[in-house]
Amino acid sequence: MTTVLTPLDGLLPSLRELYLDLHEHPELSFAEHRTAAELARRLGAAGYDVHTGIGGTGVLGVLRNGDGPVVMLRADIDALPVEEKTGLAYASRARGQDAEGRDVPVMHACGHDMHATWLCGAADLLARGREAWRGTLLVVVQPGEEQGSGAKAMMRDGLFDIAGKPSVVLGQHVVPGPAGWVLTRPGVIMAATDSLRIVLHGRGGHGSRPETTVDPAVMAASVVMRLQTVVSREISATESAVVTVGQMHVGTASNIIADEAVLEVNVRTFDEQVREKVLAAIDRIVRAEAMAAGAPKPPEITTLASFSVTANDEAANANLTTVFREHFGAERVIEAPLVTGSEDFGEFGRAAGAPSVFWLVGGMDPEQVLTAMAAGRFEQDVPSNHSPLFAPVLEPTLATGVETLAIGALAYLSMT
């Protein structure tokens, strides 16, 4: 490990430049052309066999270094339709088109710019230190994570046909914890997510004659209120779920009763049985409310995005936790809480039939985080992922994430 990690200090200036560049030039899901090109260029310069255009804008770097395990390292690269409000000198002013064709601001509000930089740094270190290990490295640059479809898109496009299936799959995510901390967890670490679009059909008309209509606004209001009972009255207190109505659109004027209402609903669960129960309850409630209102036709329920739970192989997680504690010290490596955010990282391990481990790396000023926690104001004072104020501090966040990926790979590659 010492042999591989020694060049890191010399690489940090270049990695900082890469991070600042990626942060200033974010790109939305499956539009990460500039980002992918730069990462592919760097992997090629480090000696990797580079394959581009996998699953749209995905990149695979392959480094074969003799007989041994096949280790996959993954980072996601897409940004979000968020207007940055950090005030940083390198803040994004980029704009793009979302999936609906709307012009939107774009920001790396979830830290994928940091993930990509970590991956480049670890890939460079492992290539420079290849005399210390044997095996094959698969470095995967994944598009479209925010839509929950990037991992599947890469696999449909033959990701594992190029260099074979990995023996283990490793990944990580920056979070609003103290910079330099590493958080691991056996078993489930991140929630499953299902995003649904619900169209409620009414019969429109004049606001002065509601008796001639079926009002979808009233129908939608009833659905929203009834959905609040799914968790409170159908899920055990020992289980967990979140149901959020994030969007509701109905009508164009105060004196017009619309033909339809559109809701978008987000569901978070940690258990597959609970997930199925919640989704079935939503379906039942929506259809029942439409029937009760006398809707002229049944509602339409469409799945917009679906993420399975992210679950760590327990033995592999224990192995990496031990390795991280030996390197960083036990005070910097703690057990992660359950995270209600979601990831499609787990799709790689499931498709490969290989153990996978996903861990978290703190990225915020430690004094700010610990002070906020002591005052009971963590949620109010520390910007979270997806916030327009989310901005990891560069150090020690950058160095820590490069080291965790490199150390994680070395824990599985054959040592010389």
Binding residue ranges for Mn(2+): 110, 112, 146, 173, 386
Q: Which tokens sit at 39?
A: 């990462």
How many angstroms separate the most distant Cα atoms in the chain?
82
- Tokens 């960083």 correspond to 328
> Nearest-CA neighbor of 75 among 46, 99, 108?
108
Element (H, E) at 14: helix 8-24
Q: Residue 326 to residues 129, 256, 322, 362, 363: CA-CA distances in angstroms?
A: 20, 67, 6, 18, 21
Three-state DSSP class for 312? strand
First to last CA, the chain: 11
Please give the Cα distance from 216 to 261 (Å, whole number): 5
335: Cβ–Cβ under 8 A, 6 or more apart, which residues? Answer: 183, 184, 185
Beta-sheet pairing, 192-201 with 133-142: unpaired
Decide: 71 and 409 in contact? Cβ < 8 Å. Answer: yes
For the annotated binding site, the residues are 110, 112, 146, 173, 386
**Where would I find the H helices in 65-158?**
112-128, 150-156
The answer to whether the CB of 137 falls within 8 A of the CB of 123 is yes
CA 18 vs. chain centroid, Å, equals: 21
Question: 21 burial class (0-12, 13-18, 19+ CB within 10 angstroms)?
Answer: middle
Beta bridge partners, 206, equal: 256
Q: How many residues does the chain have?
A: 416
Structure tokens at 196: 């649904």
**CB of 137 closer than 8 Å to CB of 408:** no
Please give the structure tokens belonging to residue 64: 């074969």
Phi, psi for 83 (deg, rounded to 5) = -90, 120
Query: In 10 A of CB 308, how many CB atoms?
Result: 20
Closest CA to 356 of 410, 408, 411, 316: 316
